[in-house]
Amino acid sequence: MSVLSGPAQAEHTLTQDDFAAFARLSGDDNPIHLDAGHAARTHFGRTVAHGALLCALLRGLVSDARPGPPLARLAVTFPAPAYADEALVFRADPQDDTRVRLLAQRQADGQAVCEGVATLAPLASSLPPDNGWTDPLGGSTASVTRLYADADLGLYERLTGHRLREPLVLSLFSFLLGTRLPGPGTNYLKQETVFSRRVPLDAPLDATVTITRLRPDKRLVDLATVCRIHAGGGRGETVATGRALVLAPHWGPERWASHAQMSDCQA
């Protein structure tokens, strides 16, 4: 049985080198994280941290606050950007036997940059995944297959301080959203992920994001996210399912119209 060990807190000042290291690990080289010139022309004004990197750091604190039980669900929002060389405070506060409230905020002004809830429970109890989650029909889709090994966990541990597997899946979603769909320039706003089983090593993983809704007036894109164990031409066992909400300020009218035509999603 796990022990409720109390709140966990850490301070980090993420650097541009940290952004670059996470980009190498995840493949997410979205220029809003790496290209100072590009970022200066966006509403951010300068480079910002990957949302999945903030999640990885918070996931590590969850394991400190509640050692033992697996992560069954992670639901987070990104209310404001986290900039390079800006001191941040990360907190994981157990609320009860299963829920841990998460917060990452700027030390200078207290502004939250990532907040949400982690739910810890035996993974079998999270089935069927995501309250009856089903594969979306139609919708523009982007996919990637990647094999992770123990050495990859070591690299993540070097960056985040914890050897945990769930950030591997979140990194796949980060890669797809930031480089494929909607692609470079995408701004992460929300991510909810439900884990159905332990993330495997030495078995290829298939990750897919699919557009489920477009809101061109607000430049918002909703997507379904899913990760499965690769099974050749078939459908492998589900590892995680979820939903993402992103801002796509870089899309022009033609892109919005094109994706609307390719899908059954609500515009």
Q: Specify the higher pLDDT residue, 2 or 229.
A: 229
The answer for residues whose C-beta is within 8 angstroms of residue 218's C-beta and 6 or more apart is none
Share of the chain above pLDDT 70, in %: 93
Average pLDDT (8-15) is 97
Of 156, 167, 179, 19, nearest to 83 by C-alpha is 19
**What does pLDDT average to over the chain?**
92
**233 band by pLDDT with thresholds 50, 70 and 90:** confident
**139 band by pLDDT with thresholds 50, 70 and 90:** confident
Of 8, 10, 14, 24, nearest to 156 by C-alpha is 24
| pLDDT surpasses 70 at 104 | yes
The whole-number pLDDT of residue 264 equals: 54
Of 83, 86, 91, 97, nearest to 47 by C-alpha is 83
Specify the DSSP class assigned to residue 84: T
CA distances from 86 to 47, 68, 160, 237, 263 (A): 11, 32, 16, 40, 40
The whole-number pLDDT of residue 1 equals: 38
The residues pairing with 208 across neighbouring beta strands, listed in sequence order, are 143, 226
The answer for residues whose C-beta is within 8 angstroms of residue 101's C-beta and 6 or more apart is 91, 92, 93, 94, 95, 115, 116, 117
| pLDDT surpasses 90 at 261 | no
| pLDDT surpasses 90 at 15 | yes
Average pLDDT (123-129) is 56
| pLDDT surpasses 70 at 181 | yes
- Torsion from C-alpha of 50, 258, 193, 112, nearest 10 degrees: 40
Q: At 173, is the secondary structure helix, strand, or coil?
A: helix
Reported as half-sphere exposure (CB side, CA atoms, 13 A), residue 232 has a value of 0
pLDDT per residue as tens digits for the range 64-100: 999 989 999 999 999 999 999 999 999 999 999 899 9
Among the ranges given (21-30, 190-199, 242-251, 257-266), the one the predictor scored with the smallest mean pLDDT: 257-266
Q: Which residues of 223-262 are buried (b: 16+ CB within 10 A; e: fewer)?
A: bbbbbbbbeeeeeeebbbbbbbbbbbebbeeeebeebbee
> Residues in the chain, how many?
267
The whole-number pLDDT of residue 132 equals: 62
Average pLDDT (14-41) is 97
207 close to 143: Cβ distance less than 8 angstroms:
yes
| pLDDT surpasses 90 at 265 | no
**127 band by pLDDT with thresholds 50, 70 and 90:** very low
Average pLDDT (25-42) is 96
| pLDDT surpasses 70 at 196 | yes
The whole-number pLDDT of residue 134 equals: 74
| pLDDT surpasses 50 at 24 | yes
Joined together, the tokens standing for residue 234 give 């078939």
